[in-house]
Every structure is written in structure tokens, then in C-alpha cells.
A and B are shown apart, each in its own frame.
Chain A
């Protein structure tokens, strides 16, 4: 395998990994857009999604697609419940209280899950067999195709919802200016609930897909991807949907290239180096406009 082929192979790996980051980052960015909260529990919501998918497959005997739907539904509802119980009472509290609460929710989800499913990693059933496409020396395996395919379909659906439907317009309006959206008759609480629901459902998909890709899930699996997806959202410009997708993909590709050409030890370092660089040189992210914070 020569250099360019190896590069392409890492690109494919990176895009699959990046799709996962993108799915999680979308939830981060949507939630930030609407209530200005960095929802640090989002990575753990992704973990719960992975477990629900796992149990739907192993206990419920479902195939991958029905399991994805079940996981999206249950995790979406979990997102609504988290917002209602933990964040809604703090709607008018300082943002730091909300942030601390999010960290609390994160620990709560991690250790409650540990109590119920034990800290031992579970082996995710292999669903795809050995399907893979060979192009020359390049290999695109079934899991990667599944990840790329599902991510693309979900992006199309999300774009449609956000731009074409009434509730999507309400979401955009409320994230731009909540108060004025209310003056239009938009029920902000409802829009916030729906945003948490959609964001959590997307994270659930990412969780199940990671289970399929890496075959292993555990109650702390959400910490690292949660942070990485946060980096992706910041890289793209937090609050901006296409930014989350582009940020996720770029981050995935960079990680794969670093792992492939330098050393996989530096993978995580690369992600956080990006965060530092973005914050230093372009804090508003790739798609963000550099505006000063309104006080």
C-alpha cells in the first residue's frame, strides 16, 4: 500500500469516526443554540443510547434498524426528562449553575448506569458479518458504510425539519432570539423540549453505531466522545448546525491521520490541540461570526 492509498484509507476511517462525532456534536450545538448551555451530560446520553440499542438487540431480539429507532425514541424521551427535571428549574439562574448541574447530570447518568448494567464492558453483537467493499487495496467495511449511510440520511432529515417545518422555524427563531420568538406565539418550553429530544436521539444513534463499529460499550464510554464532540462543535462554531457536522468530520479525519501516520497515542492529543488552537485563533469557530458577547 503506497502513501496515497494509505491516506485514502485513513480518510475513510476518519470520515466514519467523524460522522459519529458529528451526530453527537449536533446535539451539543442545538442545545447550546437554544439555552446557551454546554450540556456536559450529552456524552452520557450517547452512552445510554448505546445501552438501549444493545438491550433492544440482545434482549429484544431486534435487528439493527428497529433497535436504532427504539434507542432514538427512549433516549429522546430521556433527553426531555433531563431537561425538565434538571435544567428547566434553572431557566433564570446564572449560566454557571446550569453548567454545574450538567456536570452533575453527567455523573448521575454514568454511575446510575453502572449500578444497573455493571461497569464491565459489554460486547456488542456483530450484526454486519464480513461485508466490505474493496477498491484496489482500499477497504470500506460494512460498519463504515452503515455509519456513513445513516449519518447522511439523518442529516437530510434534520435539515428538512429545521428549514422546512414550522417547528424547525420556531427552533431557529427561538435560538436566535427566544423572547421575540415568544412574541410570535412560540412556546419556548416546548421548543426546548423538542430540541433536547432531537439532540438526544441523534446521540443515541451515534451510541448504537459506535457499539456496532467497536463492538464494545461501557458506562464511561461517553466521556471521551462527549469531549471530542464538544471540540467538534466549537471547531465548527457552536450553535451552528452545519458547523457541528463539518467540525465532527474534520476532527475525525485529523484523528485518523494522526493515528495512521504518527501514532495512535497522539489521537486524543490532536483533538484537544485543535480545541486550543481554535480558541486561540478563531474562538467563534469555522462558521461563526466573531461577535463580542452581549452582556
Chain B
């Protein structure tokens, strides 16, 4: 039996009168890459934002390593070991690459460990090292995605939430980013990946959930879903 890291049980999230998540339940086990796919507006980002504490669930439960985290503020959830790469990267454009990474390590005080991890990020993303003194806003889209991922890794998360890492990137770059996601996973970080690019997401994930207008409609092994007629028609272009 796999050890479950994140358990979301029957959460309901509202934006004012709009019922965005209607009883979503999902589980992420330690060591997995789990992907949440679905059309625009299905509630994928809402799910990640609720896990990160930026949105509140009206009912249901979210537990991480057996501990209820649904009531915690966003900054406290980072300390529990969950880090998010938000949709659209949201790097701090007016700060340098280095400062962005330092902010990623905001919850830590071990100077040497932080320096080590900055080097680790630079090994993984050599282009960031070349640009470490540059303002983050001057980076290309792909580099900004790398910076956002590097920044999220700086808190040494056990669970990394990735929201649309492929957004706006060229196909070749998407491949590179996804292979880095696999590397990060192999190095021991569990990943919950939200994607519109279902093809790519299913190709690297172990398990997958399909979200449709606020409800999980399908779930299973990524390979099974990739082969299923329903998913192929709706999300993989036939």
C-alpha cells in the first residue's frame, strides 16, 4: 500500500456565488507524479490554490502527511512542505534572479543549506546561473518557468504543485520542462501537476484525474487514461 502524502476529501470551493469545486476528492501518494487534467475553467487551478491555502474550502478536508491543513494560512502551508509554482509563473519581475531564489527560501534560516540549494538549482537550470544578477522580468518565458520552478524548490518541499508549466512555451521547451519535472520527481519530490496539455502530462504522470466543471469525472493510471476513448476524444484531440 502506497503511503499517501496529500488527501483531499470532498472539498467545495466557491467564488462568491459560483460553485467552483463540487466535492472534489483526490489523493497523491509519496513519490508519485499525479496529474490533474481538464479544460479551461474546470477548476484545476482552484484545486491547487485551495491546497496552498489561497482559497478556502467551505466543507471537506485536506490533509498532508496525516495532518489537517485546510484551516492554515498560505504562508504556514509552505512551512508544512508544500510549494507551488503558480499559473503564469508569477516571478518577482522587478527583483533579480538571485533574489527570487532567496525568496523561495524565505521560510529557511540555514544559510549554508540555502547556498547549497541555490547551487543545486543552478546545476539543474544552468541558464539561471548565467542570468543570476539580471532582473527576472528580462528573462524569456522558458527561463521564467525555470526560475519559478527553482524558486519553488528552494523551500525543499515534499510536495510540489505545478500549475500549467507548459503555458505559452514552445514545444521543444515544453519537452525540456517536462523532463526536468521527471528529474525533480526522481530526486524524491512528489508532484501534483495541473495541465491543459493532457498529452504531455499523461506521458510523465503515474496517475491522473480528469476534472470537468468542478467534478472529478475520471481517474486512474495515467497510461490507462491516455488510452481511454473518452479522454482521447475530449482532451487529446481524437
Contact = CB atoms under 8 A, between A and B. Distances in A.
Chain B CB within 10 Å — which of A166, A180, A183, A188 has the most?
A: A183
Interface stretch (A167-175, A204-212, A227-235, A277-285): A167-175
Interface string A172-200: 11001101111111111000000000000
B76 to A, nearest CB: 8
Which of under 10, 10 to 19, 20 to 34, or 35 or more describes the interface residues of B? 20 to 34
A186 B106 contact: yes
Contact of A188 (B75, B102, B104, B155): B75
B52 to A, nearest CB: 6
Contacts of A181: 103
A244 to B, nearest CB: 16
B92 A177 contact: yes
Contact of A173 (B52, B53, B83, B103): B103
Contacts of B155: 184-185
Contacts of B52: 183
Contacts of A183: 52, 54, 74, 78, 83-84, 86, 90
B103 A169 contact: yes
Q: How large is the interface on A (under 10, 10 to 19, 20 to 34, 35 or more residues)?
A: 10 to 19
Dominant secondary structure at the B interface: loop
Contact of A185 (B54, B79, B92, B99): B79
B178 to A, nearest CB: 22
B54 to A, nearest CB: 6
Given A185-B106, A186-B106, A169 B95 contact: yes
B94 interface: yes
A114 to B, nearest CB: 40
Nearest to A167: B106
Interface in B69-90: 73-75, 78-79, 83-84, 86, 90
A170 B106 contact: yes
A184 B94 contact: no
A187 B73 contact: yes
B207 interface: no
10 contacts: A169-B95, A169-B99, A176-B93, A176-B94, A179-B54, A182-B74, A182-B75, A183-B54, A186-B75, A187-B75
Interface of A: 166, 169-170, 172-173, 176-177, 179-188
Interface of B: 52-54, 73-75, 78-79, 83-84, 86, 90, 92-95, 99, 102-104, 106-107, 151, 155
